[in-house]
C-alpha cells in the first residue's frame, strides 16, 4: 500500500499540494505527507529542495521534514505490533501535532531567511511514478501494482535482517542484563533519563526497525518507555548523515533550530509516555 502511494503521489504532486497559501493548512498537509511517505533522509532532502525551488510555504516544508523520518507507516505498524494501540496513538498524535506547531513557529520566527541558494545534480532515474507508466488506464494500474509488489519484496529483504538483529539483541538483553540495573539508571522514575536518551540518540544513526524490537525488551526489563521513545525519536529524527545533507541547504542557525525541534519532540513525547503509560 505504501509503495502504491509513492507511485500515485509523485514528488511533483507533493510540491503542488504544499503550495496552498494558508500556512496552518499548509503545515498540516506537510505533516500528513511526511507521515504517509516513508522517505529516507536521502530522498527527503531532495524533495525538500524541490519544495524550496517551487516556492512552497516554509511552514509546510518544515512540518514535512520533521514528520518524514520519525512518523511513517512502517514505524506505526511496528509500534502497534510491539506496544499496542494506546502507545501507537500517543506516539503518532504527539509527533504529528508537534511537527505542525513547529513548522508554524519556525515560519513565524523568520527562519525562512536561513535557506541557502543551492541546487542538486544527478539523482535516481529509476523511480516509478504514475506519469512514467504507459498504456491504457487498466494497464497502468496493473503495472503500478506489479512495481509495488516488487518494492515491497525488496523492502522486506532489506528490513528483515535489521528486524532479526533487533530481536536477537533483545533476546540477549532479556536473558543476561539485570533488570534492577536498567531500572535504576533508565527507569521512569529517573527524570534525567529522557533528555539524556534524546541527546544520545541524535548523533546516532538508528535504524528504527532494529530499535523498536529492542525497545520492547528493554521496557520489559525496567527501562522507562519514555526513555526508549526519546532515544528512537532522537536517532531517527536527526542522524549525522541527515544533518550533513541539511547543512548544504540550511544555514547554521536553521540547523540548530532543527536539532532543537527534534530534541523537544523527543523529550516531550518521552515524558508523556512515562506519565500516561
Long-range contacts of 271-274 (CB under 8 A, 24+ apart): 271/194, 271/226, 272/90, 272/94, 272/226, 273/87, 273/90, 273/91, 273/224, 273/225, 273/226, 273/229, 274/188, 274/194, 274/224, 274/225, 274/226, 274/227
Instruction: State the pLDDT at residue 255.
Output: 93
pLDDT tens sequence for the chain (277 residues): 767 766 776 666 666 666 666 788 889 988 988 887 665 555 677 677 767 776 778 898 899 889 887 887 778 888 888 888 999 999 999 999 999 999 999 999 999 899 887 655 544 445 577 778 888 888 888 888 888 888 778 767 766 776 677 667 666 766 665 556 555 666 667 778 888 888 877 776 666 767 787 788 878 777 888 888 888 888 778 777 778 778 888 999 999 999 999 999 999 999 999 888 7
Of 93, 43, 94, 90, the C-alpha closest to 65 is 43
- The residues near 218 (Cβ < 8 Å, ≥ 6 apart) are 170, 173, 182, 186, 228
Instruction: State the pLDDT at residue 104.
Output: 94
213 burial via Cβ count (<10 Å: 0-12, 13-18, 19+)? buried
Instruction: State the pLDDT at residue 160.
Output: 74
**Is residue 115 situated within a structural domain?**
no
Domain that holds residue 268: 2-109+136-276
**Is residue 218 situated within a structural domain?**
yes
Domains held by the chain: number: 1
Instruction: State the pLDDT at residue 123.
Output: 47
**Is residue 231 situated within a structural domain?**
yes
Q: Quick one: cell of 29? A: 498537509
Answer for the pair 72, 40: CB distance below 8 angstroms, yes or no.
Answer: no
| Cα 160 to Cα 139: distance, rounded to the nearest angstrom | 31
**Is residue 121 situated within a structural domain?**
no
Instruction: State the pLDDT at residue 125.
Output: 45
DSSP state of 131: G
Instruction: State the pLDDT at residue 92.
Output: 92
Amino acid at each position: 500500500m505504501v509503495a502504491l502511494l509513492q507511485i500515485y503521489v509523485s514528488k511533483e504532486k507533493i510540491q503542488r499540494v504544499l503550495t496552498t497559501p494558508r500556512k496552518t493548512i499548509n503545515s498540516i498537509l506537510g505533516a500528513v505527507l511526511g507521515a504517509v511517505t516513508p522517505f529516507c533522509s536521502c530522498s527527503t532532502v531532495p524533495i525538500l529542495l524541490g519544495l524550496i525551488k517551487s516556492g512552497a510555504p516554509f511552514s509546510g516544508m518544515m512540518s514535512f521534514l520533521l514528520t518524514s523520518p520519525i512518523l511513517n507507516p512502517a514505524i506505526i505498524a511496528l509500534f502497534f505490533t510491539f506496544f499496542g494501540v494506546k502507545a501507537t496513538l500517543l506516539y503518532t498524535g504527539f509527533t504529528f501535532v508537534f511537527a505542525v506547531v513547529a513548522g508554524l513557529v519556525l515560519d513565524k520566527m523568520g527562519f525562512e531567511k536561513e535557506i541557502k541558494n543551492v541546487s542538486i545534480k544527478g539523482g535516481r532515474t529509476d523511480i516509478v511514478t504514475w506519469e512514467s507508466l504507459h498504456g491504457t488506464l487498466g494497464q497502468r494500474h496493473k503495472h503500478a501494482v506489479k512495481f509495488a509488489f516488487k518494492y515491497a519484496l525488496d523492502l522486506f529483504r532489506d528490513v528483515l535482517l535489521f528486524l532479526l538483529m533487533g530481536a536477537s539483541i533483545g533476546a540477549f538483553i532479556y536473558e543476561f542484563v539485570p533488570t534492577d540495573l536498567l531500572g535504576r539508571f533508565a527507569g521512569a522514575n529517573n527524570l534525567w533519563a529522557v533528555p539524556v536518551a534524546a541527546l544520545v540518540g541524535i548523533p546516532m544513526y538508528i535504524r528504527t526497525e532494529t530499535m523498536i524490537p529492542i525497545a520492547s525488551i528493554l521496557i520489559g526489563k525496567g527501562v522507562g518507555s519514555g526513555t526508549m521513545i526519546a532515544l528512537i525519536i532522537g536517532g531517527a529524527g536527526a542522524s549525522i548523515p541527515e544533518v550533513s545533507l541539511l547543512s548544504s541547504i540550511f544555514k547554521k542557525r536553521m540547523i540548530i533550530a532543527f536539532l532543537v525541534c527534534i530534541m523537544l519532540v523527543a523529550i516531550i513525547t518521552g515524558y508523556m509516555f512515562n506519565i500516561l503509560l
